Amino acid sequence: MKKTIYTSQEYKADISIIVDMIKQFKNPHLVSLYRGALPMGVLLSNIMDLPLSIIDYQTRDTQTLEPKLIKDAGIVNSTNDTIIILDDIIDSYRTLKAAKNYMNSLFPDSDIVGITLHKNTKNEMMHANSEWVRSLNNTNGDWVVYEQWEVL
């Protein structure tokens, strides 16, 4: 598997694109998936002065059995709100899909959108029913190393 370095400059440019994307939604509420999307969620929350909630559901590092809202920053169940689920990278689509289903069960009247920095388009299963997800970059199956999150 090829390793690709995702630079701080690329991250900064992508965050600007995501800010513009989020501005298109009505009453956005950010929801980060714990752990990978927390840096992105905190940054976007600070830049845009938006609430940030957190879902714990990890399928890679630890096997969390069910998604759980561990921080609710005031999500309202309304057709006037858009819940934006953030993740750093999607490969199997399992985590993001489970997070969406979970949020739909809690807030069935809210629109839900997924935004990710990367997706692996070599995984064809990911494309099924994923039209609600907007991803900025295609990994082409590469292992992505996030330069700005590396421990020095």
How does pLDDT run across 71-129, given as a tens digit for each residue? 888 887 777 889 999 999 887 778 888 999 999 999 999 999 999 998 876 665 555 55
142, two tokens: 């590469």
Q: Quick check: 111 and 25 in contact, CB under 8 A?
A: yes
User: What pTM value is reported for the model?
Assistant: 0.87
Q: How far, in Å, CA of 75 to CA of 83, rounded? A: 8
Q: What is the pLDDT of residue 126?
A: 55
Higher pLDDT, 43 or 135: 43
pLDDT at 43 over 70: yes
Q: What is the pLDDT of residue 122?
A: 67
Give 5-52 as a DSSP string: EE-HHHHHHHHHHHHHHHTTSSSEEEEEEETTTHHHHHHHHHHHT--E
Query: 66: burial class by Cβ within 10 Å (0-12, 13-18, 19+)?
Result: exposed
All domains of the chain in start order, with CATH: 3-149 (3.40.50.2020)
